[in-house]
Amino acid sequence: MSVILGRKVPRRAFRREVVLRCQAVRERDFKLVSDLALNLSTDGMLVTTRERVLTGEPLVVSFKAPRSTRWVDVSATVARVIHGRRPGDPGRSLGVRCLGLSFQGLDDDARRMLFEQLKGFPPPEPLRPLG
């Protein structure tokens, strides 16, 4: 849940804490910017990086869905760069930045499959207090 203007608002995406191998490649130079995801949803994922990546940069992401043999290839945009400066920021203990990626063009079949495969995984811990 997020809190907006004093009201609890459910998150749009079904986000779950998973650790999985992935390949996130920057479109402009095909440089690998990440090979590890920390959480995943039907709308995006949180990945670690040691590269300098800017908000808004387009990426191509490939990963095998949890508990599945199916690969997912999807375009994504860097929605957020988490520098790991605040206590509780993901990646802080690893000494890396994290990128919040937003998927574009994930087809309905892949979205449903991801939703089913993510059931049973725990939601990520909130990074900041709610309310």
What lies within 8 Å, CB to CB, of 121 at 6+ separation is: 16, 17, 18, 66
28 located within any domain: yes
2 located within any domain: no
- Structural domain of residue 60, as residue ranges? 9-115
129 located within any domain: no
74 located within any domain: yes
What value does the mean pLDDT take over residues 44-65?
A: 96
**pLDDT value at 116 more than 70:** yes
Q: Two tokens at 55?
A: 């908000």
Confidence of residue 2 (pLDDT cuts 50, 70, 90): very low
DSSP labels, 4-47:
ETTEEE--SS--EEEEEEEEEEETTT--EEEEEEEEE-SSEEEE
Report the CATH number that the domain containing residue 64 is assigned in CATH: 2.40.10.220
What CA–CA distances, in Å, run from 79 to 33, 68, 69?
15, 26, 28
How many Cα atoms are found within 13 Å in the side-chain-facing hemisphere of 30? 0
pTM equals 0.82
Question: For the chain, what is the domain count?
Answer: 1
Task: Give the phi and the psi of residue 48 in degrees, each rounded to 5.
Answer: -95, 155
123 located within any domain: no
100 located within any domain: yes
Mean residue pLDDT across the chain: 85
**pLDDT value at 42 more than 70:** yes
CA distance 114 to 42: 6
128 located within any domain: no
63 located within any domain: yes
Span of 3-7, 42-46, 90-94, 124-128 with lowest mean pLDDT: 3-7
